[in-house]
Structure 1
Amino acid sequence: MKSARKIVTKKSRGRPLTGTGIQVGERWSPEAIAAIDDWRRNQSDLPGRPEAIRRLVEIGLKKG
């Protein structure tokens, strides 16, 4: 008689991957953060701060 085997998938450790882009860390002055927060509050969908920064960078690159 064969013994019953249980197939168990091993869980990976740590936080799940969220994206494939390159992470860039920056320090911002309180004045710059306030300006970003003011801009994002005027947006219809109120993006989070990281999304607001992405949008502002895209706007700046299109104008350049």
Structure 2
Amino acid sequence: MKKAILKSSRGGKRPGAGRPATGNDPVRTLRLSDEFIEKVDHWAAEQEDAPGRSEAIRRLVEMGLKAKR
């Protein structure tokens, strides 16, 4: 008796599969000390809109880049 080979409907890329993209900017990974993160979190908590950690880091970097030397 021969076994029938059936095409599996599992696996492979499917249209609409996976989590939708949240933005077009590539992800950047960096290591930060616990002390540094605490300072960032403290700064963020003092802001009127209390940004999340990622947004706080973006704002702080922008402020640093715009600062006069």
Structure 1 runs of 4+ aligned residues shifted over 3 Å read: none
Q: Is 1:57 aligned with 2:61?
A: yes
Q: Gaps (5+ residues) in structure 1?
A: 1-9
Larger radius of gyration: 2
Separation (CA, whole Å) in 2 of partners of 1:43 and 1:49: 12
Report the counterpart of residue 38 of structure 2 in structure 1.
Answer: 34
User: For 1:16, which of 15, 20, 34 is the aligned residue?
Assistant: 20
Code of the aligned partner of 1:44 = E
Percent identity between the two aligned chains: 49
Q: TM-score, normalised by structure 1?
A: 0.78
RMSD: 1.4
Gaps of 5+ in 2: 1-13
Q: How many residues align?
A: 55
